[in-house]
Amino acid sequence: MRTLPRRLGVAIVVAAIVVLLSIKLNSFRDYQIAEIAFEVTAVAGLTVLTGLSGQISLGHAAFMAIGGYTTALLLLHLAWPFYAALLVAAVVTAVAGAVVGAAAARLRGPYLAGATLLLGVALPAIAYAWPATFGGDQGLNVAFTTPAFLGVNFPPTRWLAWVATLVALIVLVLLANLNHSRVGRNWRAVRDDDVAAALDGINVAAARILAFVVSATCAGLAGALLAIVTTLVGPGSFTLTVSISLLTAAVLGGLGSLAGALWGSLVIILVPTYVTDVATSHGLSASVGSNIPIVAYGVLLILVMLVFPQGIQGGLTRLFSLFFSGPDQKPRTWRTAPTPHVTPSADQAPASQHEKEGTL
């Protein structure tokens, strides 16, 4: 019980920092804060699914698509206020998560990976089938205006950064509480040994489905945020590459750790722009400079996996315990997952990235 005030305190401190940063930094950085916020929301959901309940999803962008399109359609056709659309998007993706979760609870390892991969590839393609409703390849433009009380000169990106951060923080606090509750303990029990968990009276299938519902809801919220932040939802926003990069962020940050979700998202969003800036400021030729971010991304991934096999958060915990080796330094074992049913190998993500970028 006493951990809840602590988590709320952390969330409020983070919110204060984000507000300060958003005022201090330029509008583009505000936009990046908003991007990081929706990335964190999705990655946190995925890290709970894979790291805590031991199920893998290679198609999480599909849930983002459901959330994004729901929001876009509600805002476009019914002119709903954004927060209402956000709630509906969460509910719709939760239902979708329950359906997929019910199927997923019967599948293991590579079969689950295959099924979710199928979902990730097939679902965004629905947009092509009904271009009149979903705008086809172009997608739907989402109009989002800042509330009137902020005045006309208030930068819209700052407001977006605030909204997205608020949603991300609420999601993180709720997930942290869930993980520490009986639900979280059940998930870890199912992940580590489902037979033992069943013998202990845990309903394994229900636990697995619930994990999918929670995770899908997070992805749906992330998709809704993406819709208003980028003012566009289209099949191009929810490709397989997006699904893989979500998983990459989760693994990079430290599977099963919510703080890790933040580190992973920071890397995914900030490294490409930073490296591009460095490459262009060094006057590299376009053909070299434009490929440097992909190289840097791959190198970073390999380095983290070599040096911190438990992800960035796992590495930080280890470093911390090295420097401050106190009596209670033993890291809590649940924070980082052992082996989920399918361990996403470090080279999987950059390979797919490369496939998309390179071969054609």
What are the residues binding other proteins (CB under 8 A)?
26-32, 35, 125, 128, 136-139, 141, 143, 157, 226, 230-232, 234-237, 239, 242, 273, 276, 278-280, 282-296, 299, 302-303, 306-307, 356-360
Closer to other proteins by Cβ: residue 231 or 343: 231
SS3 content of the chain, % helix, strand, coil (to 5): 80, 0, 20
For residues 213 and 53, the answer to whether their CB atoms sit within 8 Å is: no
DSSP one-letter string for 114-142: HHHHHHHHHGGGHHHH-HHHH-GGG-EE-
Query: Quick one: 15 or 284, whose CB is closer to other proteins?
Result: 284
What is the nearest approach in angstroms of other proteins to the Cβ of residue 34? Answer: 10
Question: Of 109 and 131, which has the nearer Cβ to other proteins?
Answer: 131
Question: What is the rounded distance in angstroms from the CA atom of residue 101 to the CA atom of residue 246?
Answer: 18
Report the distance separating Cα 343 and Cα 351, nearest Å: 15
Q: How far is the CB of 244 from other proteins (least distance, A)?
A: 14
- Considering beta carbons, is residue 291 or 343 the nearer one to other proteins? 291
The angle subtended at Cα 128 by Cα 125 and Cα 132, nearest 5°, is: 140
Min. distance of Cβ 256 from other proteins in angstroms?
22
Which is closer to other proteins, CB of 239 or CB of 321? 239
User: In the complex, what is the shortest distance from the CB of residue 208 to other proteins, in angstroms, rounded to a whole number?
Assistant: 31
CB 76, min distance to other proteins, A: 13
Contacts of 199 (CB under 8 A, 6+ apart): none
CA-wise closest residue to 140 among 42, 223, 37, 41: 223
CA distance 16 to 8: 12
For residue 45, the minimal CB distance to other proteins (Å) is: 19
Cβ-based nearer residue to other proteins, 293 or 311: 293
